[in-house]
Amino acid sequence: MWHPRGGHYFPFLLYILAWAGEGSHGANNVKIKVPALFTFGDSIVDPGNNDFIATNVKANHPPYGENFIGNRSTGRFTNGKLAMDFLAASLGIKQTLPPYLDPNLTNHELLTGVSFGSAGSGYDNLTAKTAGVIPMWKQVKLFTTYKARVERIVGPSNSSNIISQAIYVVVAGTNDIVQNYFYLPTRRKQFRAEQYEQFLLLGCTNFVEELYKIGARKIVVYGLPPVGCLPIQKTILKQNTVNGCIKHCNQVALSYNKKLNETIKNLQARLPGIKLVYADIYAIILDFVKHPIKYGFETSARGCCGTGLSEIGLTCDSKSSVSCKDPSKYVFWDAVHLTESAYHIASDMILNEYISELL
């Protein structure tokens, strides 16, 4: 017997029953296409899971969240909502996507999707280990515990329907390339750039296959962004830039993305019943960087927090010496992550260009 919090048993049971039947409609005769949204990966999709683990990679302090609902620092690495929050709203699921590790999640929140993302994570286990965060393999394990919880709430049949009809977004690889390859020596001593790309692609392949085994069928996999355009990358590496970005770093990202696209096509052909889409986030963010005015921004050269050149996480705090007055005029919030405004625009583009292929 299901006894959710808040006394919403009957209306939500109707919701589930209406959705579960083929071709059925909800109480308002609106066909429900996407029952839930799930995200996996790094800080781009972490709404606060890191707040519940022992790591220093957190954004649970001001000025993070200054434009979020209630002006709260939730653990999101931006000033407000993430792209996945906007995507969940656009799909008619809910207004924000919560972290799975939040102990106060309601049954309704569980059934309509959560994020397993952990800021600092990547396909390379060493990346997550170095940051003390949740590796991708463990995010999959958490998803199996999620499935068991949902089965207890609505039963195995309805649980399988939710999982098979939900949309999955996988965002990883940036920390592997930026931090674990460009900054730290271990992987550079073991791999040439091309070899490390293949290493990460194998990690991505294994991850998608694990999701598939659990029941996921509609999956979007992000490519790398133009990592050579990140303010922190330009500050730390101090290399000559071309059009405001480090050319070599972007070439690595482009090389990886080309191979990732082919990997996705191969998986699509090999896994029966799967809908698998590669999302070219590189092109979206590069256009933000090159043409900020086109999107209503004033600058993409630095972030809003502090100097905007190196601040992130613990160094982006309320004591930062410089902070912009209007984050909506900036592409970047800190030296790595986008502002809420940029995420909102990116979310619409992702929905129209990539998620739409899964609907």
Residues that are catalytic:
43, 334, 337
Q: What is the DSSP letter of 28?
A: T
**CB-CB neighbours of 165 under 10 Å:** 18
Give the C-alpha distances (Å, rounded to integers) separating 322 from 3, 64, 302, 334. 49, 14, 12, 12
The answer for residues whose C-beta is within 8 angstroms of residue 113's C-beta and 6 or more apart is 36, 37, 38, 88, 93, 94, 97, 166
Q: What is the dihedral of CA 134, 140, 144, 149, to 10 degrees?
A: 50
Q: Indicate the burial class of 273 (C-beta count within 10 angstroms; 0-12, 13-18, 19 or more).
A: exposed
Residue 115 bridge partners (DSSP): 39, 99
H or E stretch covering 269: helix 247-270
Q: What is the DSSP letter of 182?
A: I
Q: Is residue 296 helix, strand or coil?
A: coil
H or E stretch covering 174: helix 174-177
The radius of gyration of the chain from alpha carbons, rounded to an integer in Å, stands at 20
- Contact between 116 and 40 (Cβ < 8 Å): yes
Token pair 């939040």 is found at 102
